[in-house]
A and B are shown apart, each in its own frame.
Chain A
Amino acid sequence: MQSVGRSLRTIWIIAKQEFSLLFGSPLIYFIGAIWLLINGAFFSFYFGQQWNQGVAPLDMAPLINTMVFLMVFFAPAISMRLVADELREGTHELLFTSPIRDGEIIVGKWLGAFGAVAVFIAITLLYPVVLALRGSPDIGAIAAGYLGLLLSTGTMMAIGILASSLTQYQLVALFVGIGSCLVLWIVDLFAGLVANPNVSDFIASLSLRDHGDALIVNSIIDPVDIAYFIGMIIIALLLASQILGSRRYVG
């Protein structure tokens, strides 16, 4: 129990550190501003059209889907430096020789970066507030959509940190991260190419977009979808932790 408490405390220290380091650099403001700008433009254009036609828009799913798709690119851009920078600067040597576990480093960094992205997601809550002021949107559906957005983002951040643990070069981490997220996004398209129905179903079940749609479009909070996202996050973080730890063997 004492060990769990110590672990949680360590993760919290690293998360806080990562959060403040991210907001201490211009990169996250730049990425966040672009993400908000595109979402804002979509919001104005898509909902503005409906308002102009005298319709009160109620469905936020298209906007949330856009937010999630943009995260395919923006989540790896934010997470690319998380481990790669430690490896490049050599600061991992001090972390490796501090009384902390490799997994605590990875989870702490993921949590800190996820928290930073969550700040930008929180800013978009302005949109449902605007919708609520001009109509009666389905708050439950919006909440399910935001849950899908948060879980999808968390998964892509975890994949981003996994890519970051592979290299000391941020650009390599960025491209590997975006590539991996894109593959996971469209993996169901490959399912039809496989003759074996079991394998085909399995490949289709890996689709990040499908599980996200269940929450965002269909507004169904299915434990299977939740388990998918949590499972993907755990697998990616475990792999990142193992890869980071393997660096102890190569000096």
Chain B
Amino acid sequence: MIQVEGLTKYYGNYKAIDRISFFADVGEVVGFVGRNGAGKTTTIRILTGYMPPNEGSVTVAGYDVLEQPIDMRQKLGYLPETVPLYREMTVWQYVEYFASLRGLSGADRERRVEIALEKVNMLERENSMITSISKGMRQRVGLAQAIVHDPEVLILDEPMIGLDPDQRAEMRAIIDEIGEDRTVFLSSHDLAELEKVADRVLMIHKGQIVAEDTPDALATRLEGERRFFLRLGNADLQTAADLITQIEGVLTAVVKDDGIEVAHPQDLDVRPIVATTVVGNEWDLLELKPLGTSLEDVFLRLTGEDAETR
């Protein structure tokens, strides 16, 4: 479990994080999202005991980060954003070294290293030099060192960076498995990935938590409107969009990709009238697909900026 109360951190006069409080429970995967410079890495570095806060308290796995740092770190697994590796080591030596530093020894250490490498699908590369493996593999080796001691709390900073779609799926599966009975806290820029893996999401902006809920609840809470996507055949899309915009209840109708994205109030379903208009103009209705509110939409609205201003 992670419990954070009133955490504040200054760099000189600059306040990087401002009295943030949150918790992450056992058996929960909590996503942490924010732009560069929002305070993500600072928060993570305080949670992991890398650096102390100016104010506030942090408890990880029942241990105070400042008062009981060694006990706390014994229960912690951490994968930094850029996986730091000893280039002179093999994959096995690297994971074994961190297993030793976390108190594992003898046959138990060998067994745990094997399990960790197997879990990240790197056992067959155990004798490879770290310099000779790909970036995605290095990310997996980094994860192996983080889980080798079976930690109660796992903190991952941008774990999906550099992974191809298959590797991302594997990483999600590992996080899901660990998150069943452990606490997993992960940061990511990739909101679509977070939506897939996180039970709950914390959004940080300018050093403050601006939202905290499940991805679905966040989307629902902010849904003032609904949207659907319309794909037409035998029609000039811009003309069709202009005509649909004039229908009562339609908020916007915008040409997007190979169709039209239509927005309407949550309590007024315009789809039957739009369908009638399509048929009346002798256009072919190829697709009518409801669109959900993505975590990205929620984030952009909460931080008061749209994609173009990012």
Which residues of A pack against B, CB within 8 Å?
A: 6, 10, 13-14, 17, 21, 24-25, 89-101, 248-251
Closest 4 CB pairs between A and B?
A90-B84, A91-B84, A99-B73, A97-B48
> Is B304 located at the chain interface by the 8 A CB criterion?
no
Task: Please indicate the chain B residues that have their CB under 8 angstroms from the CB of A98 in the complex.
Answer: 73, 98, 101-102
**A–B complex contacts, Cβ < 8 Å, 24 sampled:** A13-B101, A17-B97, A21-B86, A21-B88, A25-B88, A90-B84, A93-B50, A94-B84, A94-B145, A96-B50, A97-B50, A98-B73, A98-B98, A98-B101, A99-B73, A99-B101, A99-B103, A100-B70, A101-B70, A248-B51, A249-B51, A251-B11, A251-B42, A251-B51
Contact B97 A24 (CB under 8 A): no
Q: List B102-136 residues whose CB lies under 8 Å from chain A.
A: 102-103
CA distance A91 to B50 in the complex (A): 12
Task: Please indicate the chain B residues that have their CB under 8 angstroms from the CB of A24 in the complex.
Answer: 88
**Interface size classification for chain B:** 20 to 34
- Nearest chain A CB to B12 CB, angstrom units: 10
Contact B70 A249 (CB under 8 A): no
CA distance A99 to B98 in the complex (A): 10
> Is B185 located at the chain interface by the 8 A CB criterion?
no
Task: Please indicate the chain A residues that have their CB under 8 angstroms from the CB of B84 in the complex.
Answer: 89-94
| Selected interface stretch from B75-83, B213-221, B233-241, B245-253 | B75-83
Contact A13 B52 (CB under 8 A): no
Q: List B30-63 residues whose CB lies under 8 Å from chain A.
A: 42, 45, 48-52
Contact B49 A90 (CB under 8 A): no
Write the chain B residue with the least CB distance to A12: B100
CA distance A14 to B101 in the complex (A): 8
Write the chain A residue with the least CB distance to B145: A94
Task: Please indicate the chain A residues that have their CB under 8 angstroms from the CB of B145 in the complex.
Answer: 94
Contact B49 A96 (CB under 8 A): yes
CA distance A91 to B103 in the complex (A): 19
Most chain B Cβ neighbours within 10 Å, of A17, A95, A96, A97: A97
Which residues of B pack against A, CB within 8 Å?
A: 11, 42, 45, 48-52, 70-71, 73-74, 76, 78, 80, 82, 84-89, 97-98, 100-103, 145
Task: Please indicate the chain B residues that have their CB under 8 angstroms from the CB of A6 in the complex.
Answer: 103
Task: Please indicate the chain B residues that have their CB under 8 angstroms from the CB of A99 in the complex.
Answer: 70-71, 73-74, 101-103
Contact A13 B80 (CB under 8 A): no
Contact B78 A97 (CB under 8 A): yes
Within 8 Å by CB of B73, from A89, A97, A248, A251, lies A97
Task: Please indicate the chain B residues that have their CB under 8 angstroms from the CB of A95 in the complex.
Answer: 101
Contact B74 A249 (CB under 8 A): no
Write the chain B residue with the least CB distance to A92: B84
| In the complex with contacts A24-B88, A91-B86, A99-B74, A248-B103 CB distance below 8 A | no
Write the chain B residue with the least CB distance to A7: B70
Contact B101 A91 (CB under 8 A): no
CA distance A131 to B71 in the complex (A): 55
Can you add 7 more A-B contacts, CB < 8 Å, to A91-B86, A99-B102?
A10-B101, A91-B85, A96-B48, A97-B48, A99-B101, A100-B101, A250-B11
Task: Please indicate the chain A residues that have their CB under 8 angstroms from the CB of B52 in the complex.
Answer: 248-249
Within 8 Å by CB of A89, from B50, B78, B85, B102, lies B85
Write the chain B residue with the least CB distance to A16: B100
Within 8 Å by CB of A248, from B50, B74, B80, lies B50
CA distance A138 to B98 in the complex (A): 47
Write the chain B residue with the least CB distance to A23: B88
Task: Please indicate the chain A residues that have their CB under 8 angstroms from the CB of B50 in the complex.
Answer: 93, 96-97, 248
CA distance A99 to B149 in the complex (A): 12
- Nearest chain B CB to A63 CB, angstrom units: 34
Task: Please indicate the chain B residues that have their CB under 8 angstroms from the CB of A21 in the complex.
Answer: 86, 88-89
